[in-house]
Amino acid sequence: MQSLDSALQKTRDTFMIYWLLVRIIVPITIATEVLSRLGVIDAVAPAFAPVMALVGLPPELGLAWLSGMLVGIWGAVALVFVLVPMDTLSVADVTVFSALLLFAHGLPVEQKIIQKAGPRMVVTTLLRVLGGVIYALILHQVLAATGWLAQPVNPAWVPTAQTLAWSAFFWQLGVMMVWMLVILLALSWGLELLKVTGILALLMQALAPVLRLAGIKGEAGHLTAVGLFLGISYGGGLLIREARSGSVSPRQVFLSCIFMGFAHSIIEDTLVVMAIGADISGVLFGRLVFAVVATAGVAVLIRSMSDAAFFRWVHLPVKGDLGR
């Protein structure tokens, strides 16, 4: 009976988190689409050309990067070969651009979800964008110095940019939200089942050493692992629940969100950019190493902060009501 009550409570909590995610994702997605169709993103994109030059990429890709940061990975990859002829790009170019994109994409939605878990949106957004630029710069310097991946890109898939009719856009958005509820419920029940059977403990034993290097431990590690494999919407959604229940400390919540910002959805997102020609060494293995090292550096920094400074500058007060 107690296990049934616990399952019902987890289900109620999951529905409340889902409703919170709906209120974040739907309006922000619609607003971003409107801005895109009005040409606002196109108008702002030239300001990002200096960053492209810094990491050795054509300035035209600034539009694709900005689109990725605002709309998401799919919006960015559809523009790459539209903006720059395929025969002028190397595997190194696509890998460096993909690295930028994997760190910072879909920011309005993902960062709003992270903020609901407690970390301040401005801080985590800056860390994601800056982390992506630093990693892309390191990657560019290594590839340029060694000549590695200098061969012309040969993508397995060449996406095309297209603007959907509003009816199709809203249909896709609705389908996405239905699937999000299904996945959140499956994750919530699945995590409880894995805990009861002891499988989660075995999985976390394998991941724990890596996460501990980044300063993440305990329950925060479980939720970080969800974000690592499935993405911020799911890992962050579950993290909101745990953060508000008080079972994960605010500093661990912050570190978990930082790590997820650097490395999340490593299966789907990695496969997408590899399909357009990126090399796995830069977009997966190197990114994971950077995520661990960079998050460990952030962990050292926040450990030296007083509680007053931590809650003033990097973390919001934690609300106890999931329904708000």
Token pair 């993909």 in the structure block, residue = 98
User: Can you give the residue range of the structural domain that contains 35?
Assistant: 2-152+166-313
Among residues 278, 267, 296, 247, the alpha carbon closest in space to that of 118 is found at 247
The answer to whether residue 160 is domain-embedded is no
Structural domain contains residue 323:
no
pLDDT, residue 61, reads: 93
Q: Does residue 216 belong to any structural domain of this protein?
A: yes
Q: What are phi and psi of 56, to 5 degrees?
A: 75, 25
Alpha helices (runs of H) in 118-267, residue ranges in sequence order: 121-146, 166-197, 199-213, 219-230, 232-245, 250-262
Q: Give pairs for 139-146: CB < 8 Å, separation 24+.
A: 139/55, 139/95, 139/96, 139/99, 139/282, 139/286, 140/55, 140/56, 140/92, 140/96, 143/92, 143/95, 143/96, 143/282, 144/56, 144/92
| Total residue length of the chain | 324
Which pLDDT value is given to residue 322? 40
Low-confidence ranges of the chain (pLDDT < 50): 320-324
Q: How many domains does the chain have?
A: 1
First to last CA, the chain: 29
Asked whether residue 175 is assigned to any structural domain, the reply reads yes
The answer to whether residue 322 is domain-embedded is no
Q: Which two tokens stand for residue 146?
A: 């060694």
